[in-house]
Structure 1
């Protein structure tokens, strides 16, 4: 006897409407910045009254949280998709290049994840979880390179985040800092890797 799955059309419509609201929010961010998001504008974009949006998101901050979560999930997916290579240093270079590309390809997303531009917005533990998974993979990659010092991990996030910040702030759409990634990562590895000749 075959079992036919019963579709929950109400849940599907609810999820589709949430998706439409988030997509509209990204459109606003990419056109006018994170500060331009308002429930009234989002409602108009999706053909709803602003009050109706609260049936899908309890607050504007909840929309930001959903955007934050999906952005971190995308970044984690890219880390997980990096090919396995014999040399862990090559993997760290690939990871840094991927991270830089992720940061510069969408400045609005970059601001939401890394610059705290929204007063009093704190991402939920659920939205932050993929970021913590990604950072754990970075730590593992550094360990594979023989780098275990906690200060070295902080330096890694500072170096890679700093390059992305410089690129987005000073030459959005360019490659002035993007093209430095491999060179800077090699300098980092030389400095922090044990038994590296200096």
Structure 2
């Protein structure tokens, strides 16, 4: 039995935090991340605005929780997708899954991969979720022999570009997803067998 199940107050608190985060994502989708209204957020979860501070010390604290929650959503999504055993096919699938997730949840993508909130930096605790994602990406790259830090930097730039183009030009579609095999082939040619 989990601690939350043993402690009804903790369970209620976790449920309220979950409800606040769900409402915050909905407001962010409607108005943009930087324009989340704490008054509207509180009203959406049947609280008065000052009562939000029981759960989040500040708006930046709320963003920190959203950052960690966004990475949990991304990791859960990746876990729900079948992963091929072939290393190259697994790399392609990882990219496809990231582009599709970002296209489906563009506000989450913005929170995780773009610096859109002035003054926001994730806490060490929230950063742990980002490191888990990074570790997964690095493991997949290692399997194809692209484990140099420069390779990882280039790879992350390629994924970011595909995600941004998909979100901006064909949200929910496959226009940039279909380019993944070619992009991965170009990456592997340069990363694993660099031109001399």
TM-score, with structure 1 as normaliser: 0.87
Cα distance between partner residues in 1 of 2:175 and 2:191: 25
Q: Tell me how far 1:88 sits from its aligned partner.
A: 0.8
- Total equivalences in the alignment: 193
Consecutive unaligned residues of structure 2, counting only runs of 5 or more, are: none
**Residue of structure 2 equivalent to 1:37:** 36
Q: Deviations over 1:116-168 (max 9, x none)?
A: 11101111111121221221222222222122322111110000111101121
TM-score, with structure 2 as normaliser: 0.88
Q: Deviations over 1:54-106 (max 9, x none)?
A: 01111111111111101112222344555454421111011111111111101
| SS of the residue 1:65 aligns to | helix
| SS of the residue 2:98 aligns to | helix
Cα distance between partner residues in 2 of 1:111 and 1:85: 28
* Alpha carbons 1:147, 1:194 under 8 Å: kept: no
**What stretches of structure 1 move > 6 A for 4+ residues in a row?**
none
**Residue of structure 2 equivalent to 1:177:** 176
- For structure 1, which segment, 82-91 or 26-35, has the greater mean C-alpha deviation from structure 2 after superposition? 82-91
Residues 55/86 of structure 1: CA separation in 2 closer, same or farther (3 Å cut): closer
| SS of the residue 2:118 aligns to | coil
Rg larger in 1 or in 2? 1
Q: Tell me how far 1:38 sits from its aligned partner.
A: 1.9
Cα distance between partner residues in 2 of 1:50 and 1:24: 14
**Residue of structure 2 equivalent to 1:133:** 132
**Residue of structure 1 equivalent to 2:163:** 164
**Residue of structure 1 equivalent to 2:122:** 123
